[in-house]
Structure formats: C-alpha cells, structure tokens
Amino acid sequence: MQATESVLPRYKRLAQQLWEGIVHAGLCEGSRIPSVRTLAVQHDVSLTTAVQALRWLETQGHIEARPRSGYFVARRPEHSCPARATGWPNPPPELDAQVRDHLAMVGAPCAVRLDLAVGEPSLYPVDRLSVLLRRSAYQQPDLVGAHARGAGHPDLRREIARQAMQYRCELAPDELVVTNGCIEALNLALRAVTRPGDVVAVESPTYFVLLQMLGALELRVLPIPCRTGTGMDLDALKSALNETRINAVVTIANANNPVGSIASDADKAALVRLLQARNIPLIEDDIFGDVCYDELRPRPARAFDTSGNVLLCGGFSKSLCPGLRLGWIAAGKFSDKVRALKYTTSMATAELQQTAVAGMLSSGGFALHLRRLKGALQDQQSALRDAVLRHFPEGTELSHPRGGFVLWLKLPTTGHLRVSTRPMFEQARTEGIGFAPGHLFGQGGAYDDCLRLNAGYRWTNNQEKAVERLGALARIAVAASE
C-alpha cells in the first residue's frame, strides 16, 4: 500500500486530500480555500508543494484563483449548493417512529401546510422586529457580556412581568428566567421537579413534543382526558391521584394543543388547590395564552397560586415570531433549582433578541400586533371549520377552538374496524398536503382516528382544495373500516 501512495507525487496526494475534504464538507462554489501558507503548515509540506497542489486543482477546474484574494471553489454546476436543506433530511431514528414521520413531513416541501401550529409569515411583525433587532445590534447590547446574566436581560424580564400584570398574574422580574424557547422552559421545569422513572400526568390528547420530551427524560406518562371546551378532566385527575403516585402534572390550560379548549377560572383555581394540597408541582404551558381569541386574555392557572407550587412556562414563538426562539419560565418556589439547571444546561440566552422583544413589548406594539393576529386566526379558523364541514364525511367531530392555531378532528366509525388517519397521511404527503396525524398526540394508538389541521395560513382557494382532498381521503379511510 505504501508503494501505491508513493507513486503519486506529494502535491497530487495533497490535492486529492484537499478535494476530498471539499466534497466531504459540502463546500459550495465560491467557498474560500485555505491559503498556501496555512496548507503548508497544516499538512507539513513546503510552500512549493502547496502551490503545486492548488495549481493542479485549478487545472482540473475544481478551484479558481481570484486576484489578491486566494483560491475559491470553482463555479461549476456539479459543485453548486444543493437546495437549501430543511434541517431534517433524515430524521434521527432515536426519536419515536411517529415523530420521525412528522419531522420528515416538516422537512419535506409541502404545497399546503396544514401540519405545523404556526401562522404564515405575513401574520408576524417581521419588519418591525427587524428594525428593533437592527437597533439592538447597533447599540451592541452586551454582545460580549451576556454570559454573566443567566436569568436573562432585565428589560425583558420586567416587560414580561408587566404583560402578566395586565392579565392579573403577579410575576416578579427576579423570579423569571429567559429561555431558548418555551421548549427549554418546559424541559427545565420537568427536570426541576422530577427524576427519571417518575410519573407525570398530562392532558390527553396533548402536544406531541411534550410526549417526546417526557420520553427523553425517562418519565412515565399518565394521560388524563381533556374535555372539549373545558380542558383537563379534574374528576379523572382526582381519581388518578387517589389510585397512583403522580410526581408532577403538566397542563396547557389556555388553548390546549390540539383541542383548543380553555379551562375556566374556577377549574384553574381548583386544579391549583388540588395539587397544592398534595404537594405535587403543576407545570403550566401557557404558550397559547396570548393568542386566545377573546379580547380578554385568559389568566393562567398560575394566577390562582399563592404557594409557589406552579411553574409557569411562556414564550413568544406563537404570539410574536417563531424564529426568535425566546421563552421564559416563572418557577415559583422552584426558581432556584431552575436557575441552577439553566446555568448548567445552556448558561444564558442570547441577549440580542431579548432587547428587541423588550422594545416591542414596552412600546405597545405587541398589543396592537396581537389584536390583528387574533382576529386573523379566528377568521381563518372559521373558514377552516366551514370547509371541513363541507368536505369531510358525515359524523366527523370537530373541536371548537377558543384560541391558537389548530383544529382537531375525529373521523366517524361506521364499521367494525377502527378508522386510521395514517394511510391518509402518507397519501396526502405525496400530494403535497401536510397535516398532523392523530396518533402523534397520544400513546398506544389512542387517536389513530383523529387529525390536526393548522389554521395559521390565510384562507385561499388552495387551502379549500386541500381540505376537499383530505375530505375525500377521509371518506376512503372511513369506508376501509367498514
């Protein structure tokens, strides 16, 4: 083998090595190649050899020289960048098979997006945020010092507390920790109050990322039925509490995902009392609280807590802009634990977005934006419901969402076999229509006959046609069960 190697002159071996590196790293046209000097030092060859290697690659048309700039990957079609990756070309097999399916869907191009719980870009104040972000960047808000502030920028923490005051939920800025999205907040909350093997009660059906998160933390899920309209069934929870050890409860009391219900203030207060009496922490995911349709923003369960037993998680991904990845947690008596976990999990959250969002909140621009967003969502939700009523098989049950982005459907059972939306999901994907199949939202196939549709996009003829097509596929699914 040594013999074969030495057949090639040193510069050609270097050139070959370089080219393999370029291909492996997926460098696209115009990418800069290391300098002659760097190459010589890094590969322990003479400057002459490095120059020869680069010239050889140039004669092959792989790279090109630019005066006074160095060498760059050449503009040749076969080296051009692939279409922008979506990030999940091959969803990791470590996730549950069902979530892999979902991520593949998220990654795949899709003509009509009825899958994710997001609004279309035009619903978000991206221009205004850009201005604020540019201002933050211009003022260089502690671009270098943020790592010392694990809890988040004081301006944003104060503005979050002020917002909460408006819906009569008292939060102290000192209690708040700014997180990388509401997902990190939920994660810190769960880690603060549970250990692997613990039992966590959740609404059923519920947000599938929450189910995945519980799995990743080796927590056991206890599903509590979620009543349409009013949220977690407290009687069922009481029975469960009497029958089994429960270490924590997670609730999405406002605009539950996927059902869209809002628990009453009385139920929220009762839930808080129930768990407080048993000293079981309540984790509240209030990410949809700001996008409930009523003018009066519903209070979180946390507003009824006086003992510090509720860990309230919120964020701006649904209400202001998904891409900012900004969330927060007010962890009550678990605040110290959460701050310690934040420190060893990601230390601090980048401050640039924090000051921009603080500016949006303090200016009153957030309130104006929310009014517009909520109006649009409600209109789109109506249009989606009407279309489903027109096109889906008779007997299909629909949720009555009181907030948020999504509509939850249950197909009718007419025969002996259970209806499943999985084949329908596969087929729709091939036709460029995305939706979230029901089995993601529970365990053991509990919601195989359900599906979740997103009302976040403006209602168009395309949407109408997609729902019509889904209705036809649903009829086939129902017929197949007979």
The alpha carbon of 345 is separated from its chain's Cα centroid by a whole number of angstroms, namely 18
What are the strands, taking DSSP E only, across 188-325?
Answer: 199-204, 220-227, 231-232, 248-251, 282-285, 310-315
Cα distances (angstroms) measured from residue 465 to each of 64, 115, 335, 461, 477: 50, 15, 49, 6, 18
One of 12, 34, 308, 468 touching its own copies (CB under 8 A): 34
Report how far residue 195's alpha carbon sits from residue 246's, in angstroms, rounded to the nearest whole number: 12
CB of 81 to its own copies, least distance (A): 8
Q: Does 350 bind its own copies (CB under 8 A)?
A: yes
Q: Work out the widest C-alpha separation in the chain, in whole angstroms.
A: 83
Near its own copies in 283-312, by CB under 8 A: 295-296
Nearest of 361, 368, 349, 383 to residue 316 by alpha carbon: 361
**CB of 352 within 8 A of CB of 178?**
no
Near its own copies in 455-474, by CB under 8 A: none
Near its own copies in 136-175, by CB under 8 A: 137-138, 140, 142-152, 154, 158, 161-162, 164-168, 170-174
Q: Does 65 bind its own copies (CB under 8 A)?
A: no
Total residues at interface with its own copies (CB under 8 A) = 109
Bridge-based pairing state of the strands 199-204 and 220-227: parallel
Q: Of the listed pieces 4-12, 84-92, 253-261, 386-394, which binds its own copies according to CB under 8 A?
A: 84-92
Report how far residue 177's alpha carbon sits from residue 171's, in angstroms, rounded to the nearest whole number: 11
Cβ-based nearer residue to its own copies, 3 or 296: 296
One of 344, 394, 416, 444 touching its own copies (CB under 8 A): 344
Cβ-based nearer residue to its own copies, 335 or 396: 335
Q: Which residues are 328's β-sheet partners?
A: 178, 314
Cβ-based nearer residue to its own copies, 216 or 389: 216
Q: Does 343 bind its own copies (CB under 8 A)?
A: yes
Cβ-based nearer residue to its own copies, 148 or 242: 148
Near its own copies in 111-130, by CB under 8 A: 116, 118-119, 121, 124, 126-127, 129-130
Q: Does 67 bind its own copies (CB under 8 A)?
A: no
Which phi and psi angles does 313 have, rounded to 5°? Answer: -115, 130
Cβ-based nearer residue to its own copies, 146 or 388: 146
Near its own copies in 190-249, by CB under 8 A: 195-196, 209, 212-213, 215-216
CB of 378 to its own copies, least distance (A): 17
End-to-end CA distance of the chain: 67
